[in-house]
Amino acid sequence: MSASDPNCVFCKIVAGQIPAKKVHEDDEILVFHDINPWAPVHILLIPKQHIVSMVDVRPEHAPVLGRMMALVPQLMRDLGVTDGYRQVINTGRDGGQEVMHLHMHAFGGPRPWKRG
Ligand code: 5GP
Ligand code: ZN
Protein backbone atom coordinates (compact mmCIF):
# COMPACT_ATOMS: atom_id res chain seq x y z
CA MET A 1 0.00 0.00 0.00
CA SER A 2 1.44 3.40 -0.91
CA ALA A 3 1.95 6.09 1.72
CA SER A 4 -0.73 8.32 0.23
CA ASP A 5 -3.53 8.18 -2.35
CA PRO A 6 -4.04 11.36 -4.41
CA ASN A 7 -7.79 10.68 -4.63
CA CYS A 8 -8.30 10.16 -0.90
CA VAL A 9 -9.99 12.98 1.02
CA PHE A 10 -8.07 12.25 4.23
CA CYS A 11 -4.72 12.12 2.38
CA LYS A 12 -5.66 15.54 0.97
CA ILE A 13 -6.22 16.81 4.52
CA VAL A 14 -2.82 15.38 5.54
CA ALA A 15 -1.24 17.15 2.55
CA GLY A 16 -2.95 20.44 3.40
CA GLN A 17 -4.85 20.41 0.09
CA ILE A 18 -8.21 20.69 1.82
CA PRO A 19 -8.73 22.41 5.17
CA ALA A 20 -9.62 20.77 8.45
CA LYS A 21 -9.94 21.96 12.03
CA LYS A 22 -6.87 20.21 13.45
CA VAL A 23 -6.72 19.05 17.03
CA HIS A 24 -3.36 17.27 17.03
CA GLU A 25 -0.57 16.55 14.58
CA ASP A 26 2.67 14.64 14.88
CA ASP A 27 4.89 12.75 12.46
CA GLU A 28 2.51 9.76 12.16
CA ILE A 29 -0.94 10.92 13.26
CA LEU A 30 -3.41 13.69 12.42
CA VAL A 31 -6.52 14.45 14.45
CA PHE A 32 -9.25 16.84 13.30
CA HIS A 33 -12.90 17.65 13.93
CA ASP A 34 -15.45 15.73 11.87
CA ILE A 35 -17.11 17.97 9.28
CA ASN A 36 -20.54 16.56 10.18
CA PRO A 37 -20.43 15.99 13.95
CA TRP A 38 -22.81 13.54 15.64
CA ALA A 39 -21.96 14.75 19.13
CA PRO A 40 -20.83 18.04 20.76
CA VAL A 41 -17.26 16.77 20.34
CA HIS A 42 -16.61 14.49 17.36
CA ILE A 43 -13.02 14.04 16.26
CA LEU A 44 -11.31 11.73 13.79
CA LEU A 45 -7.87 10.23 14.41
CA ILE A 46 -6.01 9.01 11.35
CA PRO A 47 -2.61 7.57 10.58
CA LYS A 48 -0.95 9.91 8.07
CA GLN A 49 -0.07 6.86 6.02
CA HIS A 50 -2.85 5.75 3.67
CA ILE A 51 -4.06 2.52 5.26
CA VAL A 52 -7.48 1.75 3.74
CA SER A 53 -9.12 0.03 6.69
CA MET A 54 -8.55 -2.30 9.64
CA VAL A 55 -8.61 -5.16 7.11
CA ASP A 56 -5.28 -3.86 5.79
CA VAL A 57 -3.58 -3.55 9.17
CA ARG A 58 -0.31 -5.45 9.48
CA PRO A 59 1.84 -6.06 12.57
CA GLU A 60 4.06 -3.09 11.67
CA HIS A 61 1.04 -0.78 12.08
CA ALA A 62 0.50 -1.76 15.71
CA PRO A 63 2.61 1.06 17.18
CA VAL A 64 0.75 3.84 15.36
CA LEU A 65 -2.62 2.30 16.19
CA GLY A 66 -1.59 2.03 19.81
CA ARG A 67 -0.49 5.65 19.84
CA MET A 68 -3.84 6.72 18.30
CA MET A 69 -5.69 4.86 21.03
CA ALA A 70 -3.48 6.29 23.77
CA LEU A 71 -3.95 9.87 22.52
CA VAL A 72 -7.71 9.89 22.98
CA PRO A 73 -7.94 10.48 26.75
CA GLN A 74 -5.65 13.52 26.61
CA LEU A 75 -7.36 15.01 23.54
CA MET A 76 -10.86 14.54 24.94
CA ARG A 77 -9.79 16.09 28.22
CA ASP A 78 -8.30 19.05 26.34
CA LEU A 79 -11.58 19.44 24.41
CA GLY A 80 -13.55 19.64 27.65
CA VAL A 81 -15.06 16.16 27.63
CA THR A 82 -15.49 15.26 31.29
CA ASP A 83 -18.08 12.50 31.46
CA GLY A 84 -16.98 9.76 29.08
CA TYR A 85 -16.83 9.23 25.35
CA ARG A 86 -17.22 6.61 22.65
CA GLN A 87 -14.60 5.41 20.17
CA VAL A 88 -15.67 3.77 16.90
CA ILE A 89 -13.82 2.32 13.91
CA ASN A 90 -16.02 1.42 10.94
CA THR A 91 -14.45 -1.18 8.66
CA GLY A 92 -15.46 -1.83 5.07
CA ARG A 93 -18.84 -1.53 3.38
CA ASP A 94 -20.78 -3.71 5.81
CA GLY A 95 -19.03 -1.95 8.69
CA GLY A 96 -20.40 1.38 7.50
CA GLN A 97 -17.04 2.83 6.42
CA GLU A 98 -17.53 5.72 3.99
CA VAL A 99 -14.03 7.19 3.79
CA MET A 100 -11.56 4.52 2.74
CA HIS A 101 -8.65 5.75 4.86
CA LEU A 102 -8.51 4.13 8.29
CA HIS A 103 -9.86 6.43 10.97
CA MET A 104 -11.08 6.25 14.54
CA HIS A 105 -14.03 8.37 15.63
CA ALA A 106 -14.14 9.73 19.18
CA PHE A 107 -17.49 11.16 20.33
CA GLY A 108 -18.12 13.00 23.56
CA GLY A 109 -19.95 15.81 25.29
CA PRO A 110 -23.39 16.00 26.88
CA ARG A 111 -26.18 13.93 25.33
CA PRO A 112 -28.45 13.85 23.38
CA TRP A 113 -26.27 13.20 20.34
CA LYS A 114 -27.50 13.22 16.75
CA ARG A 115 -26.49 9.58 16.32
CA GLY A 116 -24.56 6.94 18.25
P1 5GP B 1 -16.96 6.66 8.25
O2 5GP B 1 -18.42 6.52 7.95
O3 5GP B 1 -16.12 6.38 7.05
O4 5GP B 1 -16.51 5.92 9.47
O5 5GP B 1 -16.75 8.18 8.66
C6 5GP B 1 -16.25 9.15 7.81
C7 5GP B 1 -16.40 10.47 8.52
O8 5GP B 1 -15.62 11.42 7.84
C9 5GP B 1 -17.82 11.00 8.54
O10 5GP B 1 -18.24 11.18 9.89
C11 5GP B 1 -17.74 12.32 7.77
O12 5GP B 1 -18.54 13.34 8.32
C13 5GP B 1 -16.26 12.66 7.86
N14 5GP B 1 -15.75 13.42 6.73
C15 5GP B 1 -15.92 13.10 5.42
N16 5GP B 1 -15.30 14.01 4.64
C17 5GP B 1 -14.71 14.91 5.49
C18 5GP B 1 -13.91 16.08 5.28
O19 5GP B 1 -13.60 16.49 4.17
N20 5GP B 1 -13.48 16.74 6.39
C21 5GP B 1 -13.79 16.31 7.65
N22 5GP B 1 -13.33 17.04 8.66
N23 5GP B 1 -14.54 15.20 7.89
C24 5GP B 1 -14.99 14.52 6.82
ZN1 ZN C 1 -5.75 8.31 2.39
Residue-wise pLDDT tens digits, 3-43: 999 999 999 999 999 999 999 999 999 999 999 999 999 99
Q: Is 98 in the pocket of ligand 1 (CB under 6 A)?
A: yes
For the stretch 90-103, pLDDT in tens is 999 999 999 999 99
Q: Which domains are present in the chain?
A: 9-108 (3.30.428.10)
Q: Which ligand has the nearest atom to the CA of 104?
A: 1
> What sign does the CA torsion over 93, 21, 115, 107 have?
positive
Q: Is the CB of 34 under 6 A from ligand 1?
A: yes
**Residue 62 CB less than 6 A away from ligand 1:** no
Q: Which ligand is nearest to the CA of 103?
A: 1
Predicted pLDDT of residue 1? 63
CB 54 within 8 A of CB 91: yes
Per-residue pLDDT reduced to its tens digit, 48-89:
999 999 999 999 999 999 999 999 999 999 999 999 999 999
